[in-house]
Amino acid sequence: MSDVRVRIAPSPTGPLHIGTARTALFNYLFARNQGGVFILRLEDTDAVRSSIAFEKDIVDGLHWLGLTWDEGPDVAGGPDHGPYGPYRQMKRLPLYEEAAARLRAADQAYPCYCTPEELDAVRRRQEAAHEPPRYNRRCALLTPAQRAAFEAEGRRPALRFRVAEGLISFDDMIRGRVEIDTANIGGDFIIVRADGTPLYHFTVVVDDAAMKISHVIRGEDHLSNTPKHILLFRALGEPEPHFGHLPLILNPDRTKMSKRKSQTAIADYIEQGFVREALVNYLALLGWSTGTEEEVLSLPELVERFDIRHVQKAGAVFDRERLEWLNGQWIRRLPPEELIDRLRTFLEAELEAGGIDRMPSDGELKALLPVIQERLPTLGAIGDLIGFLFVDRLEIDPSLFPTKRWDLATTREALVAAREVIAAVGEVSFEADELEPPLRRLADERGWKAGDLFMAIRVAVTGRTATPPLFDTLVALGYERTLERLDRALEASNQEAPR
């Protein structure tokens, strides 16, 4: 085993985001490719916004994607495992307190009595003067007496980290050498709130150090924050990890992907019937490529080929069409039993929503599978595809009758004739191969185009113009119901246009 240790550190302040999922995936691919360790750590120090429901969404979502981690919590709200626990920041408070005390004792951090309102006013003034927002260091050199005076006022101090002057540089695994002057990072920053809870930039460093994280792979939005982290690692006397900043996932307008402009919750993709194989495959190829022309790759294949040096530097627009194409690819690759298994949830939802009146049996699904597997862009499309087979009473949109190329009289005449032919085939030999020849013959005899006849039957028995192949559909419907629906369509069309 290598000494590679990477982590995904989501905060349970929202549902699992597509960007978080991709960052998790890249960390996972890197760890597995290198024979390293992949860790899940929950950054829940924002007590106001964090919730167990979001934690569940995140943990479940990562599991759903098929990612496995070696250390951390396995279940929302449940225990965690691993030699560097606990893996929830709110349970690591003593660690941060200890680290903060050390920085405080070494005067690398100092208490700041400025109120949020005061800081806001300063920031506003700087903005108005076109100056970069930056802490004015009012509390940086307070005397004990001044501190006592603030305390007497009842002010509770936050703890601020002293930012040293100088140039910070590091070799980003994706971007190469990056240099940032600490004069440009906004001045001394707060590491512990007035209420004693620690802040992100601080906890992330304390934990990455404590958990011996070797490579920090995260989104590019953290690139500018990296000097803060490096400064903290140094102040704490800890070795710096390697950093790698992934390109951002973008909205169609090329801004950072957001809930407002894109669908960002993994749960929504799951609910719409995207399969994990496709989502993983797609996300891996957003910002990375194998360097070959391979496109459809499983998680193990991705692990095998992953190379962080081939990760793109520029942001990547999320292309839902391409995801859907990949989803179709993977649905077609699923073993039949597996597909049926995954379809069940979606059929149940369809039943729940009243789209169908009964659940198809496994046998029925299995028989239908060959014609639906290549027609499903998402699992959620199943109701649309075959729902008409499982409704008790079919409603036909009157605008579909007569069919496009025929008038009502011809349509009705055709249905009457087709009903006779189908009835003559009989229940025993009700098979696709038995149905097609006589119906073709019928069209021939009457001088109709077979396609027009088939369309009339299709609309009559399914209520739709696009369906799986007609004869398979009729067989799935069954002898009795096919005749019944033909009769009803004839009745309905009669009422529509009485002659």
Partner RNA sequence: GCCCCCAUCGUCUAGAGGCCUAGGACGCCACCCUUUCAAGGUGGAGAUCAGGGGUUCGAAUCCCCUUGGGGGCACCA
Binding RNA by CB under 7 A: which of 37, 59, 190, 382? Answer: 190
Question: Does the protein bind RNA through residue 134 (CB under 7 A)?
Answer: yes
β 109-112/176-181 pair status: unpaired
Closest residue by Cα to residue 397 from 406, 388, 389? 388
8 A C-beta contact, residue 356 and residue 387: yes
Question: Does the protein bind RNA through residue 403 (CB under 7 A)?
Answer: no
Q: What is the distance of C-alpha 75 from the center of its chain?
A: 19
Which pair of structure tokens corresponds to residue 98?
Answer: 């200890």
Q: Residue with structure tokens 């792979």?
A: 217
Q: Give the span between the Cα atoms of 281 and 276, in whole angstroms.
A: 8
For residue 498, the minimal CB distance to RNA (Å) is 29
Nearer to RNA, 4 or 316 (CB): 316
Residue 30: partners with Cβ closer than 8 Å, 6 or more residues away: 4, 6, 36, 215, 217, 306, 308
Q: Give the span between the Cα atoms of 333 and 238, in whole angstroms.
A: 48
Binding RNA by CB under 7 A: which of 315, 360, 402, 463? Answer: 315
Binding RNA by CB under 7 A: which of 153, 165, 195, 445? Answer: 195
* CA geometry: angle 223, 226, 228, nearest 5 deg: 140
Binding RNA by CB under 7 A: which of 66, 82, 186, 478? Answer: 186
Q: Give the span between the Cα atoms of 42 and 56, in whole angstroms.
A: 11
Question: Does the protein bind RNA through residue 321 (CB under 7 A)?
Answer: yes
Stretch that binds RNA, among 40-48, 354-362, 391-399, 415-423 (CB under 7 A): 40-48
Site for RNA in 348-387 (CB under 7 A): 374-375
Site for RNA in 67-86 (CB under 7 A): none
Question: Does the protein bind RNA through residue 288 (CB under 7 A)?
Answer: yes
Binding RNA by CB under 7 A: which of 74, 97, 319, 338? Answer: 319
Closest residue by Cα to residue 40 from 23, 15, 53, 52? 23
Q: What is the DSSP string of 92-141?
A: -HHHHHHHHHHHHHTTSEEEE---HHHHHHHHHHHHHTTPPP----TTTT
Catalytic residue status for 259: yes
Site for RNA in 440-459 (CB under 7 A): 450-451, 454-455, 458
Catalytic residue among 259, 313, 404, 449: 259
Binding RNA by CB under 7 A: which of 2, 68, 146, 184? Answer: 184
Site for RNA in 243-272 (CB under 7 A): 247-248, 250, 253-256
For residue 372, the minimal CB distance to RNA (Å) is 9
CA distances 375 to 275, 336, 466, 488, Å, are: 15, 14, 11, 28
Beta bridge partners of 111: 159
For residue 1, the minimal CB distance to RNA (Å) is 26
CA distances 409 to 405, 417, 494, 499, Å, are: 12, 12, 10, 10
Stretch that binds RNA, among 187-195, 231-239, 388-396, 481-489 (CB under 7 A): 187-195
SS3 177: strand
Site string for RNA, 9-38 (x = CB under 7 A): xxx-x-------------------------
Site for RNA in 408-447 (CB under 7 A): 436
Question: Does the protein bind RNA through residue 153 (CB under 7 A)?
Answer: no
Site for RNA in 205-224 (CB under 7 A): 220-224
Nearer to RNA, 289 or 345 (CB): 289
For residue 454, the minimal CB distance to RNA (Å) is 4
Question: Does the protein bind RNA through residue 46 (CB under 7 A)?
Answer: yes
> How many residues of this chain bind RNA (CB under 7 A)?
92
Question: Does the protein bind RNA through residue 87 (CB under 7 A)?
Answer: no
Q: How many residues does the chain have?
A: 499
- Residues marked active site are found at 259
